[in-house]
Amino acid sequence: MTARIDEVASDVYRISLYVPDFDLQFNHFLVKDDEPLLFHTGMRGMFPMVRDAVSTLIDPTDIRWISWSHFEVDECGALNEWLSIAPGATPVCGELGAMINIADFSNRPPRGLGRDAVLETGRHRFRFIPTPHLPHGWDAGVLFEETDRVLLCSDLLHQLGNVEPSTTADVVGRYQHALATYQASPVLMEYVPYTENTKRQLATLAALQPRTLAAMHGSTYVGDGAAALIASGEVIRQVTAAAANVSSGAHGG
């Protein structure tokens, strides 16, 4: 497995590993700046490959910030491996995640961000927006790069397949396909909960008017990010509602 590296926004490098067994890409984003930022550590098993890919862009020991959305192995599983090679690196995530998970999990104390707190890395400024249970996880949140309007959106707009690094195509349709596919699986079902907060939280993200949606799984979307985020809320609702109809039909019939 070899990582593919593409610059998907100014200074934002997408390091992608495709896993055929899952028909899924795992994307890690390195932001080159005065204080380099890695968003998504990747799993421990992928660490050597992601580290080698980062090494072609910067000296990985220079990484200053390590961030992610929510506590899960593809998001932050290799955090301590990165901390062991980058002596100046600090984990940075939402204050809730820092308190409930990372203060114990991490070998180095984290920096916790409150709502709308800004992390400056040099040319780039990253605003933290908590999104509890979107896409999933109490501690979930996203980082929004304000200079170039790049949303590091984690599992939102998740797409299956070994797709192109960057696209202007219909990622909402691909997202619908991915959610419906997972919903049909007895193991992967209920991937993204739909709640009364889902569309409100997506509207908050849409109000940022992102031009680029850097998805963890699938292509980075370039275009009207607000419209894609709003449309994704209806996709989550419909996939959830269809599943509820199937299960109530099964029990009632």
* Sign of the torsion formed by the C-alpha atoms of 161, 60, 139 and 122: negative
Whole-angstrom Cα Rg for the chain: 17
- CA 120 from chain centre, in angstroms, equals 19
> Distance from CA of residue 230 to its chain's centroid?
17
Q: What is the three-class DSSP state of 118? A: strand
Contacts of Fe ion in 93-132 (CB under 5 A): none
Binding mask 52-91 for Fe ion (x = CB under 5 A): --------------------x-x-----------------
Q: How far apart are the first and last CA of the chain?
A: 47
CB of 193 to Fe ion, least distance (A): 12
Task: Answer yes or no whether residue 139 interacts with Fe ion by CB under 5 A.
Answer: no
Tokens found for residue 132: 């509890």
- Nearest residue (CB) to Fe ion, 139 versus 155: 155
Q: Which is nearer to Fe ion, 65 or 71 (CB)?
A: 71
**Stretch of 118-126, 155-163, 173-181, 207-215 contacting Fe ion, by CB under 5 A:** 155-163
Q: Which of 50, 156, 202, 216 binds Fe ion (CB under 5 A)?
A: 216
The answer to whether 155 contacts Fe ion (rule: CB under 5 A) is yes
Closest contact distance (angstroms) between CB of 23 and Fe ion is 14
Q: How far apart are CA 249 and CA 244, in angstroms?
A: 8
Q: Can you give the binding site for Fe ion, defined by CB under 5 A?
A: 72, 74, 155, 216
